[in-house]
Amino acid sequence: MYIGGGLLFFNPQVLREYNLPIPTTIDQLYYDAYVLYQHGICFMIPGGDSGWDQFNLWEDIFLALGGPKLYMEFLYGTLNLSDPQVQAIINETNTWFLKFQALDCPGWESMTWTQGVAWIIEGKASFQVNGDWWVTYAYDFLNTTTYPAIPPYTSWTNITAMAEPFPGTAGVYPLVVDAVAVPVGPGESYGVLFAKWWSSWYWGSGIPGGEPTWTKWKAVTFYTNITTDYYNTPEQWWSYEELVNWSKNPSDWCRFVYQLSDGGVFDDVFAQIDQGLLTYAEVGPSGTSQ
């Protein structure tokens, strides 16, 4: 199952109030965030998720600066760290990461991404990096519909949640990979049965499979271009249509990457990077080695 990651969330009313553009580059994003920070509106990078939010931000900056090829080389462990150009991109990624971290919200160390969703909608925070599950949480628990940052929605004045690809990554679709693990043991056959249901579209006898059941609540998107009513928000439909349209053209496969922080790297690597980036966020430049 695939979900779209690498998204930037914001409240367009906040940008409109301070006459700021919807950012399309990292420089624009920082300019907007810095101006809003001067008005008491922080950049939401929670620390209560053990460094996962920090990893989301770092990887998106790295993707924007290095492009999909270097990003995937990072994932497969083939990134040439002795290449001066690669090191320059990593160093620039680190620099931007710390600049955004300096604009973080008070109490960020104990906050979670779900708290961040509320802060964005309420206009207390400027931006938050996350994936499509953000949209579902806002819809289900905060009664808020998220829209893509495209016309005509960009001119609407009643929207409090909007999403766009992280600036500099437009045209690249980060795939988030979810999986079902079945433990070996006496109940293994039941676990396998559950996994088969989970990954099926139709189970038979009027019973839907796990895919459509999961889709409605988790913002999962599919390669199959079928008409459904599983997407509750315009943002989900936009993300879905982007995925389907790109998937039709073989030359567009270079547009896809597996998001490092959500199924891209193995769990042990994921934990190490999370902890390293959380330390980096806490101590600043002195934690670069982490």
CA distances from 162 to 121, 165, 278 (A): 9, 11, 27
- 264-284 pLDDT tens trace: 888 899 999 999 999 999 999
pLDDT at 215 over 80: no
pLDDT at residue 228, as a whole number = 55
Tens digit of pLDDT for each residue in 38-79? 999 999 999 999 999 999 999 999 999 999 999 999 999 999
Q: Please, which pLDDT band fits residue 190 given cuts at 50, 70 and 90? A: very high
Does the pLDDT at position 2 exceed 50?
Answer: no
pLDDT reported for residue 245: 78
Q: 101 falls in which pLDDT band (50, 70, 90)? A: very high
Distance, in Å, from the CA atom of 17 to the CA atom of 62, rounded to the nearest integer, reads 30
Q: Can you give the pLDDT at residue 234?
A: 92
Reply yes or no on whether the pLDDT at 25 is more than 60. yes
Which of 118, 140, 143 lies closest to 130, judged by CA? 118
Residue 289 confidence (pLDDT) = 80
- Per-residue pLDDT of 109-133, as tens digits, reads 999 999 999 999 999 999 999 998 9
Element (H, E) at 10: strand 7-10
Q: Would the pLDDT of 224 be above 60?
A: no
pLDDT averaged over every residue in the chain: 90
Percent of the chain predicted with pLDDT > 70: 92
Spell out the domains of the chain, with CATH numbers in brackets: 2-178+228-287 (3.40.190.10), 188-218 (no CATH)
In percent, the amount of the chain with pLDDT more than 90 equals 67
pLDDT band at 227 (very low <50, low <70, confident <90, very high): low
- In 3D space, the residue among 77, 130, 126 whose CA is nearest the CA of residue 103 turns out to be 126
Q: What is the pLDDT of residue 231?
A: 75
Instruction: Reduce the DSSP state of residue 39 to 3 states and report it.
Output: coil
Instruction: Say what the pLDDT of residue 212 is.
Output: 72
pLDDT at site 226:
54
User: Number of C-alpha atoms within 13 angstroms, CB side, residue 243?
Assistant: 24
pTM: 0.90
Q: What is the mean pLDDT of residues 161-188?
A: 89
Instruction: Answer whether residue 186 shows pLDDT above 80.
Output: yes
pLDDT at 171: 86
- Residue 220 has a pLDDT of 58
> What are the CA-CA distances from residue 132 to residues 18, 129, 215, 286 (Å)?
27, 10, 11, 33
